[in-house]
Chains A and B, each alone.
Chain A
C-alpha cells in the first residue's frame, strides 16, 4: 500500500477549478518531484494534501486512511509536514523559536531536534537569536525546512524551495536532502527547475493546467517528452 496517494483529486478556489482529477502516489522512503509551469496546479496539490485547502475525504489517502477533508492541524498531527511556498517564517519569532514552533504540541520522538537541525544547517545555530526574517533568502529556506523537520514528519512536502534563490544557494539546500532521506522521511518536492528535480527524485510527475501529463522515473524520461508535458507544445 502506498504511504500517501491522491485519487482523482479535484480542487477549487471558489468557482475556479484548479485540479482536474490528479492521481499521485508516494511510497514509503521515496522522493517524488512534481514539476510544471506556473499555474499548473503544483502548489494547489501541496495545499490540498497539507489541509490548507479542504477536499473530499477519499480523494487523499494516508496509509489508506481518508484525510482529504482534514484541516491543516490534523494533517500535521498525522505526520505530514509542509515547507510552504515563500518560506512563511513567523516575523515576530527568532530563528530558534521558528524551529521550536515546528514541534508544537507534538510528543513523538524521532531523529530531528534542535541539535540535529543545527547539525544539518550549522549557519542557523550562529543566527539562532536573530528574527527569522532578518536572514538571507537561502537561510530562511533552511529555517523553513528545519521547522518542518522538527515535527519528525513521515512525509515532508516542499513547495518551491528554489523560488527566488541563487543557483549556488539552491545547491546548498538540496545538499541537505540525502540526510533527510536517511532519517526515514518520504519527500515530495515541487520544483520549476526540471534539472534539479531529476537529480534528486526517484520518480517525477509533470503537471499542466491542473492535470498530470507525464510521470515516471527520471532515467526513463527524455527531455523532449518532459518539455511537451511541461509546456504543452511539441518542441
Chain B
C-alpha cells in the first residue's frame, strides 16, 4: 500500500462527503431541521443533471449551471409549502415528513428511471489525471475537493459578511425577535433551503460522475453526510470539511487494507470520534 497516495485519495474523497454534508449542515444550523430526505434530494439532482446531459447533450458542468437554479426553486417550494408547516416546538413532525419525502422520492425515481445503475458521463475527465511526483491525482476527485472548499468559503462569506447571513443567524437565535427586526422567518428559511439545494446540485454532479447511482442510494449518502457533520461539530462548516476528510481517509485506508472494510472503517472512525470527542472537533460555542 502506498500510504501517501491512500491518504491523498482519502482527503479528496472527504471533499465529496463535505459537499453532501454542507447543505444538511446549513439547514440544520438555521432552522434546527433534520432533513432525512437530503440524500434522496442529492440523487434527484443527479437524475436531473443526467437528463439534461442526455437530452440536450450538454457538458455536465453546463448542466449543473442549469440544475442549480432549478434545485433552488425546488428547495424554496419544498420549504414554503411543506417544511415550514412542520416547524414548531415539537421536533417530530419535520422528521416524519422528511422521512416520508425520502420514501416518496425513492419510489418516484424508481418509477421514472427504473432500478438500473446510471452514471453521468463526463467525457475525457472520467479518466484524466495529473501527476505530482510519484502520486497520480484524478482530475474529478481534485475538482470535487476544490468545489467543496469553494462552497464552504462562499457559505461562510454569505453567513458572516452579508445582510442575508445576519438574518439567517438572527433567525436561528430567536425567530420571534427576528420578526421584530422585520425579518420574515419562513421566507428566510425558504431561501436557506433553496441555497442548500443548490449545494445539493453541486454534490450530485460529483456523485453522478464519479460513481454509479440508482434511486435507492440516497439514505447511505445521508449517513455519510451526518457522520461528517457530527464529527466536525454541529454548526461549523470548516468542521464539516474536516469531518468529511476523516470519513474519506478512514474509508480509503480501510479499503486499501481490505476492500471489504471500506464502508465499515468509515463507521468505526465515526464511533471512535464520538467516543473521544462527543461534540465533534469544532462544536459551536453557543448552542
Q: A residues engaging B (CB < 8 A)?
A: 50-52, 71-73, 76-77, 81-82, 84, 88, 90-93, 97, 100-102, 104-106, 131, 147, 151
Contact = CB atoms under 8 A, between A and B. Distances in A.
A44 to B, nearest CB: 14
Interface in B172-195: 172-174, 176-184
B179 A92 contact: no
Given A73-B179, A77-B182, A97-B166, 8 more contacts: A50-B180, A52-B176, A90-B174, A93-B170, A100-B163, A101-B170, A104-B182, A151-B182
Contacts of A71: 179, 184
B286 interface: yes
Given A72-B179, A73-B179, A147-B181, A101 B167 contact: yes
B169 interface: yes
A91 B180 contact: no
B183 A105 contact: yes
Contacts of A82: 180
A104 B183 contact: yes
Nearest to B168: A92
B170 A72 contact: no
Contacts of B179: 51-52, 71-73, 76
A52 B180 contact: yes
B182 A73 contact: yes
Contacts of A73: 179, 182-184
A101 B184 CA distance: 13
Q: Which 3 A-B pairs have the closest CB atoms?
A: A72-B179, A76-B182, A88-B177
Contact of B166 (A50, A72, A100, A106): A100
A55 B250 CA distance: 57
A135 to B, nearest CB: 15
A131 B170 CA distance: 13
A77 B184 CA distance: 11
A88 B174 contact: yes
Residue of A90, A92, A105 ringed by the most chain B CB atoms within 10 A: A92
